[in-house]
Structure formats: C-alpha cells, structure tokens
Amino acid sequence: MPPPDDPAISVRALTKSYARGASREATALKDLDLDVSPRRLVALVGANGAGKTTLLRLLAGDLTRDAGEARVLGEDPADRSSRLRARVAYVSQALALDPEMTARETLRLFSALAGTPRPGRNDRLLEGARAFGLEEHLEKRVARLSGGLKRRLHLAIAFLGDPWVLLLDEPTAGLDADGQKHLWKVLEGHRSSGGCALVATHDLDEAERHADEIVHLERGRLVKSRRR
C-alpha cells in the first residue's frame, strides 16, 4: 500500500471530450482536480452525463485523456502497466460475465488471471464468494443467476486479486438490500486494510451513510466536495 499521506489517486486539470458528429465535441470532463488518499471511500455523485463514468474509465486506463494529469499509485493509468493492473480494479456498470460459465469457473478464471497463487486460490475464491453471499450459487451457470446475483459475481471478481484501488461504477444497481450490505461491508474491510475506493452512485443516502467524502460532479466539473 502507498504511504497514508500520499494520494492513491491524484488528478489535475483533467479534461476529456468525445467527438459528436464531424465538427462538434461533447465535453465529459473539464479541468477536474481530485485527490483520493488511502483508507478513504469516496462517493462520486451527479446527474447522468456528469462525467462519473468517464473519470473512472480514465483512471482505469480504459480511456485516454485529452489534457491534464492523472496518477494512480504514482503511475499514469494510460500506460496500463501490468503492475498497475494488478493493483487497480475497475468494475463497469454493465455486467461483463460469460453466461455459459458457472460462478465458480468465473471466479477461478479471474483468480488465475489476477495472479492469485495456486495453493491458496480455492480458499481465496470461497472467501470472495462468501463475502458477496454467493457460496450457494457457485455451481450455477451465470445465465441462470438472477440479475442481483450476477451483479454480486461481477463485483466479487474485482476483489480476487486484492487490489489497492477500487473504481466502481454504480455497484449497487440491481442489488437487493442484502447485496448492498455485503458490498459496503467488503468496501469497509478494504478501507480498513489500507485500500481506497472511488464509487460512482446515484444514491445519495447510501453515499451519506458509507462514504468518507462525497464529490459532486456537474457537466464534467467538480462543483462540491464534502468530507465527513
């Protein structure tokens, strides 16, 4: 983990636009500054199109920025280094699961790809499944899981490699109360062990209850940041 005083995520004057037609551009982020320290859960809130997903994707190295600086654990996320990919997990809002695999096979595959050592892999897999209440559904094909269980599996994958930085896009969408409880408990455990998370959400109550800081975005700009 990085030293507690160094920001795990640091963004300065970050700008990103998308082409819209031949001559027009839509600005998704404009001159955004943000720091996220270790041991912090930061909620990103804002209306649709405020720039939450773009920010998360830029920090995951999934998009390239137009201008400004971005550092995650001291590295430029656009470099997509293997070291950074091992320490940063991005969970998209859209589910990314193979419907023909079982939940166990899915967790086992991503566990191997995340670099979990083989001797302890099964224990790590069961631990991840338990954390999200999936232990009774491990032998079911993804196609047969309910929407909420798919979301839990989608989230559980992110924790398999013990990442330091979590970038979660609407992680509670489609989760029932029990699923949400599991998620926030896991996130609080992640924070206690020195990690940090940036969580995009539309649920202000949820953000108020669990986050250490709430960052409001509006049309790609940071309009308000409130620490709790």
Provide the binding-site residues for other proteins, judged by CB under 8 A: 60-64, 80, 82-83, 85-86, 90, 92, 94-101, 105, 108-110, 112-115, 118, 157, 161
Reading the block at residue 13, the tokens are: 């004057």
Residue 162 or residue 212: which is nearer to other proteins going by CB?
162
Residue 144 or residue 224: which is nearer to other proteins going by CB?
144
Residue partners of 123: CB distance under 8 A and separation at least 6: none
Reading the block at residue 66, the tokens are: 């137009």
Closest approach of other proteins to the CB of residue 157, in Å = 7
Closest approach of other proteins to the CB of residue 94, in Å = 6
Closest approach of other proteins to the CB of residue 30, in Å = 19
Scan for tokens 């920001």, then name that residue: 7
- Alpha-carbon distance values, 39 to 1, 60, 90, 167, 181 (Å): 10, 19, 17, 14, 19
Q: How far apart are CA 167 and CA 91, in angstroms?
A: 6
Reading the block at residue 36, the tokens are: 């996220």
Closest approach of other proteins to the CB of residue 113, in Å = 4
Residue 74 or residue 99: which is nearer to other proteins going by CB?
99
Scan for tokens 């419907």, then name that residue: 99
Residue 171 or residue 214: which is nearer to other proteins going by CB?
171
